[in-house]
Structure 1
């Protein structure tokens, strides 16, 4: 049931791939690519990165986490760690890895995590074979040299100690630069190939983005793809999956903290962090937790309250908004902190829409119920009714309530469109309008999501674009389209 990265990101770009340039030309120079920062900027970077969790999964910054209050401001769940069986199992797996590595948080790997035979078959050729370990580490050292001083921490015995002599050089030779850039270029090409193989529509959409942000979205996509492959790969038991996932999370922590990499695709993600230094680690860590919530036996079988479901929505979908926010960029006068709430709201809106659309499929095909038990009890709807696919007045009333809640999150998300850089607004607004249209389809289908799947066709999506474009223009804030509400500011109540 979790929304895939493809599903989320495809709606951010799919509709723009053929007609976006008819309405707005991408501002390639509008993307922040500078890699040197003043002390004041570095301080802000450190604040934004400080929400990272440690290897034990402990909460670091409680000021950015909490519960959502209906009708109030959206508070995300980042840094929250529940006492779930899955998270405890992951913690134990990481502790075992630490024992095997003598406590240095690093062990040797003989395979490329998340790049299995199925991935290679889908791409059509072997991956990651154009650079050896030494070349990969030299390229990583070059990338680290492009950051502000002390951006990455140092630790004794780290691989960075061996290769970061390039960082302290007064001048890096052109040969060093050319070699590193060649390796990185090949890595980015392969990340694009993986993206294209698994998400053709999304890949086409990314081609309309400026080169820097396009390659960054490929790198983020490949990381999410690999995470999904680690969790879903067929295995005899969950122990191997948890061990791989524990190693994967520790690698992520080492990349953010020390700038360490293991393979060429790690280089791509390191390149994203270098180019977008405000990118936080927390959404990546939390996405791992979200995927664990869907693992049978150790995950979450049933959501008792909406707060519980909201945590799931944040982890599997809201996190993607946070990953992409630095890449999409902010408009003058806004920053990632104030733009964060609308980005989270959009992810929650998307995932709630998925939940409502797929009630019947989840119950019949997967034996899963994602609707909060407290909401079902409130309207007199039972699990048995969902499994038997019986639509009655109670079910219809519950769906009306759930749709109203989802639309509230879409309204909250609308506030964030004008906070984005100009070249990112139309893809995001189009995604909001197109995915929100699924709720309209549910209503047109008599609120039956047990036997009928709400679907928005490609031509209908295309027809939405002129209206989406208008909604990205300043005039729409004073003269909204018929039926549209005036967009409130973040300081105003959303409803």
Structure 2
């Protein structure tokens, strides 16, 4: 479509309206669910979201469109890159003269969205061009595939945040990072859903090769129509499902920053698309010979629940429920992602007082202990800071008692484990008053993930740096406590605590992170 101009240099209103109508139609035909969800927002925002979708869809079609030769794909992407520069050009009349509807609508969107940058679009074009290589493979997640997912999908999150906006009190950077994480999660769903189509029709493999090789498979096996999924492949796909779930969970922190009208389409995209992961599992992890999909009725039935969760104080995604965890967590591949997952759940829980997700993540990790061997002294010794404890723990009860009192604020619990002793320090708000408990430590040489802590104890109160020795409470005098600790890596550990005697805290969960030298002055 060509554009004409009026006296002030803008694209004619009639042409712009037609361009937006075209973008709406492209969205509806490509994704009726997303079209419905986006239509729930204000007209102004809805039109601009359709413009973003249509331009990104045009790039996708230029890369993967049916019956396109490699040269034709390159030409189409080059044309869309020129259209992009025209949309962001100050000289709209001349620049848009030979552009398509997507660019005309995008140009108007750019004018109406000052924070919308051209860089995310340029990153996307770079990612799409990488799909036109002769040999599309990715060696690792960290170095290769994550960059690709960011370019072709993560950047869409940046575009959408610019259009949707955030609440006035929200942290813009946090919202953008969460939006990128959601884009990466959605792209990982694409990768998992389309393995067979990509590998056997296009000779492309988007699963990281180090993960493929780790389970004992090769790229050539996956390309072969003779290969059928086996236990190795199930492990491989479940590992990637866990990676996607991690990024869905990381995106949770951005939902409260969005206005209500923006939460609904965002959550709809996440939940309905994320449901494909469960479909892959239901299909026996066979995404080589069949393609997972959700029905129209399933999508429609999901919307009421999405709406109810969107208006909640702490909005959640259904895809992040307990069903995300399976027995496959005992396999090695998901472990690294699950460690990150636990920390994300801790961060969210500390903001919302929703402890269930932390417990679920910890239980999952306890099922699969990602350590190659149990903890040794080199991991045990050192200084740790408590970042989360279960509501029934002594420290959690202490924090609750501080509320409303003269020391109201965030108490801090520090731990130092040395050769033969364990020192626990409770730092009260204001860093003026602290309690120090020191106990003996007996590290069992056989069960090295278990530490027995017991008498003799020393108990002291510190006020403004002055130590006042106190008699240890009588009810603790004969008690030995068993700390079963799972060392996830050198900087993170979770502990289940049980006591021998009448008083027991069996089941209390603690999450600690290692303190570095610059943090250690408190001890």
Q: Scaled by the length of structure 1, what TM-score is found?
A: 0.57
CA deviation after TM superposition for structure 1 residue 475, in Å: 3.8
Matching of residue 340 in structure 1 with residue 176 in structure 2: yes
**Is 1:321 the equivalent of 2:153?**
no
Instruction: Provide the alpha-carbon RMSD of the alignment.
Output: 3.5
2:113 is matched with: 276
Q: 1:370 aligns with which of 188, 202, 206?
A: 206
CA shift, 1:326, in A, is 1.7
Q: CA deviation at 1:304?
A: 0.9
8 Å CA contact 2:34–2:269 kept in 1: the answer is no
- For residue 438 of structure 1, report the CA deviation from its aligned partner: 1.7
In 1, Cα distance between the equivalents of 2:76 and 2:61?
A: 11
Give the superposition deviation at 1:196: 4.6
Output the CA distance in 2 between the equivalents of 1:232 and 1:436.
Answer: 22
Q: Contact 2:120/2:155 (CA < 8 Å) preserved in 1?
A: yes
Matches within 5 A, 1:262-301: 262-263=96-97, 265=101, 266-297=103-134, 300-301=135-136
- Cα deviation code 1:105-162 (max 9, x no counterpart): xxxxxxxxxxxxxxxxxxxxxx44xx5xxxx24377247xxxxxxxxxxxxxxxxxxx
Deviates more, 1:207-216 or 1:273-282: 207-216
Write the deviation string for residues 179-210 of structure 1: whole angstroms up to 9, x where unpaired: x4344334433443454555555444443331
| Contact persistence 1:235–1:241 (CA under 8 A) | no
1:38: which partner in 2? none
| Equivalent-residue separation in structure 1 for 2:321 and 2:63 (angstroms) | 45
CA–CA distance in structure 2, aligned partners of residues 452 and 224 of structure 1: 26
Greater strand percent: which structure? 2
Task: Provide structure 1 residue ranges, at least 5 long, that are not aligned to the other structure.
Answer: 1-126, 144-179
1:312 match: 148
User: Structure 1 residue 211: deviation in Å?
Assistant: 1.1
Aligned length: 324
C-alpha change, 1:191 and 1:378, in structure 2 (3 Å) is closer
Report the CA distance shift for 1:139/1:461 in structure 2 as closer, same or farther (over 3 A). farther
Relative to structure 1, the CA distance from residue 394 to residue 248 in structure 2 (aligned partners, 3 Å threshold; closer, same or farther) is: closer
Shift of 1:463: 3.3
Do the aligned residues in 2 keep the contact of 1:195 with 1:222 (CA within 8 Å)?
yes
- 1:4-403 to 2 correspondences below 5 Å: 127-128=1-2, 136-138=4-6, 141-142=9-10, 180-196=12-28, 199=31, 202-228=34-60, 230-231=62-63, 242=74, 245-246=77-78, 248-260=80-92, 261-263=95-97, 265=101, 266-297=103-134, 300-307=135-142, 308-386=144-222, 387=224, 388-403=226-241
Q: Which has the higher contact order (CA 8 A, sep 6+)?
A: 1
Which entry has the higher C-alpha Rg, 1 or 2? Answer: 2
**Which of the residues 451, 475, 479 maps onto 2:289?**
451
Offset, 1:382: 1.6
- TM-score in terms of structure 2 length: 0.54
* Structure 2 stretches lacking a partner, 5+ long: 324-343, 352-356, 362-523
